[in-house]
Chains A and B, each alone.
Chain A
Amino acid sequence: QQQVKQSPQSLIVQKGGISIINCAYENTAFDYFPWYQQFPGKGPALLIAIRPDVSEKKEGRFTISFNKSAKQFSLHIMDSQPGDSATYFCAASKNNQGGKLIFGQGTELSVKP
C-alpha cells in the first residue's frame, strides 16, 4: 500500500518558470512532511520541510503548500534554474518518528535554459 503518492513522474520547465510537484498522503497520523532533492549519483538532501500546523512555508525560491483537509502538499520552485534539475522526493513520517520516512516515488525535474 503506497502511503504517499507523488505526481508528476517527470516535469520539464523553462528557465524562469514555476515548477510544481504534488503529493497526497493517506495516514492522518503523519505530522512531518519534508522534500528531498537528489542529484545523480548522490544521496538525497533535505530541501525544505513543513508540519501540519502551518499551511505554507517558504525558503528562498522554494515553497511548500500544505492542505490538511485534502491530505495534500506541494512543492513550488519559483524562477526555476537549470541547476534545479534533479529528482525531488516528498516524504512523510508520524508520531515523532521524524527520520523513519515514507517516500513518494519521485519527480524528475528538467529545467531547460
Chain B
Amino acid sequence: GAGVSQSPSNKVTEKGKDVELRCDPISGHTALYWYRQRLGQGLEFLIYFQGNSAPDKSGLPSDRFSAERTGESVSTLTIQRTQQEDSAVYLCASSFQGLGEKLFFGSGTQLSVL
C-alpha cells in the first residue's frame, strides 16, 4: 500500500480487557511513531522506534501501555486492563530516515472503552 495502514479502524471494548492495535508503516520507512488523540485535543506522543535502536518510550502514560516493532515493519500497541480514560484515537506515523521530520500518519484506530 502507498500509505500507513492501521487496523482495526474502530475497536469497542469493555473496561478491564486488553486490546492490541496494529500499524503497517510505509515500506522503507525506518522510523515509526505512536500518538494518542483524545476528543478535541492535540496529539500526544507515546513511543518512537528507529531502526534497531532501543525505542523511546518516554510518552507512554502507564505500564499498561506497551508497543513492539518487528524489524522495520509492523508495530503493535497493546493496552492492558483498559480504562475509560484510554478512549481515544490512536495514530501511527512513519518517516524515512534522513527526512525524519516529515511524518506520514495513518487514519488511526478509534478506541472506545465502555
Contact = CB atoms under 8 A, between A and B. Distances in A.
Contact of A43 (B4, B41, B42, B101): B4
Contact of B101 (A32, A44, A106): A32
B95 A99 contact: yes
Nearest to B48: A100
Interface residues of B, number: 23
A46 interface: yes
Interface string B32-55: 010000001111110010000000
Given A93-B101, A100-B33, A42 B107 contact: yes
B31 interface: yes
A104 B41 CA distance: 8
A12 B42 CA distance: 20
With most chain B CB atoms within 10 A of its CB, the pick from A45, A96, A99 is: A99
A102 B45 contact: yes
B88 to A, nearest CB: 13
Given A43-B4, A46-B103, A103 B48 contact: no
A99 B100 contact: yes
Nearest to B92: A43
Contact of A101 (B41, B45, B108): B45
Contacts of A34: 101
A105 interface: yes
Interface string B80-114: 00000000000101010000111101111000000
A59 to B, nearest CB: 13
B18 interface: no
A105 B42 contact: yes
A61 B94 CA distance: 27
B33 A103 contact: no
8 contacts: A34-B101, A89-B43, A98-B100, A98-B101, A99-B48, A99-B95, A100-B45, A103-B43
Interface of B: 4, 31, 33, 40-45, 48, 56, 59, 91, 93, 95, 100-103, 105-108
Interface of A: 4, 6, 32, 34, 41-46, 49, 89, 91, 93, 96, 98-106
